[in-house]
Structure formats: structure tokens, C-alpha cells
Amino acid sequence: MSQNLKLPLHRAAHGRTGDKGDRSNISVIAWHPALWSLLVEQITEEAVAHQFAHRRPSSVRRYLLPRLHAMNFVLDGVLDGGVNDSLNLDTHGKALSYLLLDLPLDVPTDLIPFLVGPG
Amino acid sequence: MAIKPNLRIGCAAGFSGDRTDAAGPIVDAMLAVGGPSVLIFETLAERTLALAQLARRTDPQGGYEPLLDELLRPILQPCMAGGIRIVSNFGAANPSGAARHIVALARELGMRVPRIAIVEGDDLSGTEQRKLLGSAAEGLSLVSANAYLGAEAIADALTAGAEIVVCGRVADPSLTVGPALAHFGWARDDWTRLARATMAGHLLECGSQVSGGYYADPGVKDVPGLANLGYPIAELNADGECIVSKAPGTGGRIDAHTVKEQLLYEVHDPSAYLTPDVVADITEADVIELGPDRVQLTGVRGHARPGSLKVNLCHETGWLAEGEISYAGARAEARARLAADVLRQRLDGLGPLRVDLIGVASVFGDDAGCWLGAQVPGEARDVRLRVAMKHAERAKAERLLREVTALYCCGPAGGGGVRTALRPRLGTVSCLVPRESVPATYRFIEAAAS
């Protein structure tokens, strides 16, 4: 019987943040097609909204791109007004992909060979 | 009708402030291959145009890309001699000023003066055009208002024989769609091909972000030669499909993963990526690795373009005040937290104060401090306190600078390295205007006028 390991999402996926106004979009791209269904099951709108709770998103939408084994999250209202309004050093929220990629992921041991990066 | 040869488009800048030595290897590579080639520079982020308008207030001849000379000087002669056309939005708030600069540069270099066209119609900040903005501009201290124009005026200028097309605000992918439209002669409602060219332009528009820039993460996402990145070259066929590559001998990486990251960059609904030229749909798109640093994009679909154009308005919104001071050694974090408490008391009533402890929590946090408040105070030994505040009045904003400086004598022990800064703030809002009300036009610059 295969067991599950709890690992950070960045072992299974990579991504990049973009911004327009007070809206942030963050891509989550599977490192391998074998990992795709794990992402679809676990990296949900609810999980992302919880990870960004301190930024009080007014909405979190997830778009799936199965051919690319990628998803695109669109988070509204998470940039304290956006690049021209926020007092943050990172007014664009460029670093936020790394906050999303810190989400925990349950990975069955048979999928471990598809993960990337030091364990 | 014979099928047109493929078109190569290289992008040598992804924003104002990008590396200025990227064009040389692209031009060398395109000349070595031969065939129809275009060089584009994307230099206008959302705020850049407002900064250019402010620069033009100071100098009526200015207001275009400040590094224009540095971008073009090394490659102007080889491009014109080799038939490589140049298309860019580096005209910013003053396309004719940029064109005159290029004329002067050509004369200085002792070369034939190129045929330069400028694209106009985006600037809606004048008294008459401002009426189009309706309530969006009401009550604002407006600095700039620019519509995102599409590819058609660029295509028309190239078809009319322009060797260089200087634009102000156009949609970033239109810098690619314009040359493709002119070269392949597509119908202007050929939504599929326009969408494919648009996504090729989307991959190009941030320069090296598709070729290994903004991607590297040591041990996980390794990129060779990050200090010598090759900027992207897209080869488009007559159906608008593209292959992205880069110049031989340059650093960087182009693979399925770098292309996917850029494909989704600043995309919201992937079934409806809106530009002035088309609505592109990438839900069935695929990326295929054809070889080292060579990736094909397929499966992009298109739908009829929107009836409205997006307009970005920039306006003055007061002042941003920032101050920093460092603490190190035993109890450094506790001393930095104490300094923050002192500043909160001294600046009470002036408005919300953002507090960051650089080295502890300073990036993921929110302005209201929920994130920082949730961190258990620790034992960090190297902490830089940063505070920031905005205020409509300059004198009030300056209070923050003085209070941070005063920590030298009045604050916790061992604080050092105070830096303070006061900057004018610019806000942006956007609105939509009917396409018909904002006609884009082009005209040639007479060399004699310079």
C-alpha cells in the first residue's frame, strides 16, 4: 500500500505571478504530467484563499489548462490597491507565487520520483 | 497566391529599464539567417507613460524612452542596411520627439535617414479627448490618459514603407501583430491568425522572461548564463503559429516550462485574453519542445475583438514617505520591534503606518500588518526596520522621515544606517471607451523637420 508524504507544493510545481491593478494572477505548472491530478484535487480555490487569508481576497478563481498541466489563479483585492497604492516594498506582489508554492501537498510515495528539487 | 516566407520577430526589451545591450545578438542572428525580420522593443509599463508625461512637462522635447539612444545606437545601422524593421512603443508621451532623436542619431552615425512613421491617437489627456473619459477622470489631478491602440496603424505604416514605427501606448502584443499583419496580409477579422500572432507577441513582450529571465531558482530551475541572457526571437508562419528561440552563443533557457510560465503571465481567464486586436483563447494551447532552446506554440484560438478600448489614467495622489534603520546582534529583533512601537506612537493620527522587519517578515505581509502580527517574535540578529506611509500633504508625509531619523538619538540602542525617501505618488484607474471614438493614425516624419 502506498503511503502519502506531506511536502510543499514547490516540489511538484512551479509558477509566476503577474499583476494588473489590485488583481494578482499566479500560475501553477506541474513539473510532470503524472503530478497533474494531485494539483487539481488539492490546490483548490479554497486552499489558496486560506493561504492568502491575511490579504483578504475578495475572490479567488482557478482556471485549468489540462493540456499544459497548468492552472491559473486569479486573486482579487490582494495587493493593497496595487502597484501604485500599496505600501509594500513588493508593490506588484511579484513574490506571491512563492507564498502559493508553500502550500502543503499530500504526495503518494509512488509519485516521489516525479518531484523536483532537494527533499 | 504564393505562401509568404516566415517572419522573424526579435524582442530586445521587456520594459523601460531593461538591459540595453540585448539587441546586438538578436540582430546578428537575424542577419545570419536572412529573410523578413523585425526588431521590437517593449518599454511601457502601466506607470511609465505617466512618468514620461511628467518628464515632458519639464522638457517639451522629452517624454520618450530616456534610454532610446543607448538602445538604438549599436544596431540602427546594421538593421537599416540589412532590412530589419524596428517597431516599438518607445515614443511614450512624445513619439515625434523620439522620431526626431532617431533622425539626429542617423545623421550623427553618417547613415541614410530611415523612413520613420509615428502612430498617434492614444493620448486622451487633452481637453477635447478628456470628454471621452466621462466620470472616470472626474476630480482627478490627471497626469496621463492613454488608450491601448491595436496593431492596425502599425501594419498600415509598415505597408506604406516605414522602416521604423514609433508608437506611444499600444497593446504590447500589437507590436508583434502589426508586423505580422503587414507581412502576411491577413484579413483583419482573421481571428484565429490574429490570436496566434497575439500570443506570439505575448511570449515576446517581456523580453527575456520567456528565455530564462525571471525563472532561475538554483538547484530547481537552473538557467545557464543569466548574466548574458539571449532575448527571444519568434518565427511566425503564414498561419500565425510560432517557434520561439534565441540567438546562438547567448545565455538563458527556452523549454516547455519557461514558455508556460510566460504564456500565463498576466493572463486572467485563459479562454479570453483581451487585446484591441482579438480575443485570444489558450485553453487548448500546447507547447512542444522541438530541440534545445526551441519551442513551438500551437492550438491558440481566436474570437472577435472587443468593441471597446481600454484607457489607463494616471493621476497625482500625494506623497509616499519611507524610512529604514538597522539593528544587529543580541536582541536585534526586539529592538527593531520597539523602534516600530515608538514610531507608531509618534506618528499616531497621520494615517496607517506600514511596518516591515526586513530579515523577519517584509514581503508576504499586508499593509494592515495582519501577517507581521501573526509572527511570533523571534531572536533574529540582523534586522532592518522599514516603515512607510502615504499622505496627501507633503509636510505631513515628511514627519515620517524626521521621526525615523530621530531614532538615531531617541530610539533603541544600536540603531544605524538610517535612509529616508519621499516620493510623489501616482495612482492609476482604467476605463473603457468605444473603439470608434479613438481613431489610431500614422504619419511619416519628414527628415527635414529635425
Report the complex ipTM: 0.97
Q: Would you tell me the crossing angle of helices B191-204 and B256-263 to the nearest 10 degrees?
A: 110
Within a domain: A108: no
Q: How do A13-14 and B164-166 pair as beta strands?
A: unpaired
Phi, psi of A64 (to 5 degrees): -100, 140
What's the longest Cα–Cα distance across chain A? 53
**pLDDT, tens digit, 9 for 90 and up, residues B275-290:** 999 999 999 999 999 9
Within a domain: A40: yes
Nearest to A13 by CA among A73, A78, A92, A100: A100
Q: Name chain A contacts of B274, Cβ cutoff 8 Å.
A: none
B183 in Cβ contact with B2 (< 8 Å)? no
B117 in Cβ contact with B407 (< 8 Å)? no
Contact check, Cβ <8 Å, B264/A70: yes
Minimum-distance CB partner of B388 among A83, A87, A96: A87
Residue B94: pLDDT band (50, 70, 90) is very high
Within a domain: A114: no
Q: Which of A26, A68, A85 to substitute to test the interface with B, most B CBs within 10 Å?
A: A68
Minimum-distance CB partner of B266 among A20, A29, A116: A20
The alpha-helical segments, DSSP class H, found in B141-237 are: 152-159, 174-184, 191-204
Within a domain: A67: yes
Contact check, Cβ <8 Å, A29/B264: yes
Minimum-distance CB partner of A65 among B261, B283, B354: B283
**pLDDT, tens digit, 9 for 90 and up, residues A31-75:** 999 999 999 999 999 999 999 999 999 999 999 999 999 999 999
Domains and CATH numbers, chain B: 7-126+147-308+436-449 (no CATH), 313-430 (3.30.70)
- Please give the single-letter amino acid code of residue B337: R
Question: Residue-wise over B260-282: b if at least 16 C-beta within 10 A, else e?
Answer: bbbbbbbbbbbeebbbbbbbbbb
Within a domain: A109: no
**pLDDT, tens digit, 9 for 90 and up, residues A75-93:** 999 999 988 889 999 999 9
Contact check, Cβ <8 Å, B263/A68: yes
Q: Name chain A contacts of B320, Cβ cutoff 8 Å.
A: 87
Q: Which of A23, A89, A96, A115 to substitute to test the interface with B, most B CBs within 10 Å?
A: A89
* B273: region left, alpha or beta (phi > 0 left; psi from -120 to 50 alpha): beta
Residue B294 host element (H or E)? strand B294-298
DSSP state of B210: G
pLDDT of residue B450: 44
Within a domain: A77: yes
Within a domain: A107: no
**pLDDT, tens digit, 9 for 90 and up, residues B190-236:** 999 999 999 999 999 999 999 999 999 999 999 999 999 999 999 99
Q: Which residues span the domain enclosing A58?
A: 7-102
Contact check, Cβ <8 Å, A27/B261: yes
pLDDT of residue A2: 62
Structural domains in chain A (count): 1
**pLDDT, tens digit, 9 for 90 and up, residues B124-141:** 999 999 999 999 999 999
Nearest to B171 by CA among B195, B202, B200: B202
Q: Which of B366, B384, B387, B422 to substitute to test the interface with A, most A CBs within 10 Å?
A: B366
> B398 burial class (0-12, 13-18, 19+ CB within 10 angstroms)?
middle
To the question of pTM greater than 0.95 for the whole model, the response is yes
CA nearest A76 in B: which residue?
B268
DSSP state of B217: B
Spatial CB neighbours of B440, under 8 Å, sequence gap ≥ 6: B119, B120, B121, B122, B149, B150, B152, B153
Within a domain: A33: yes
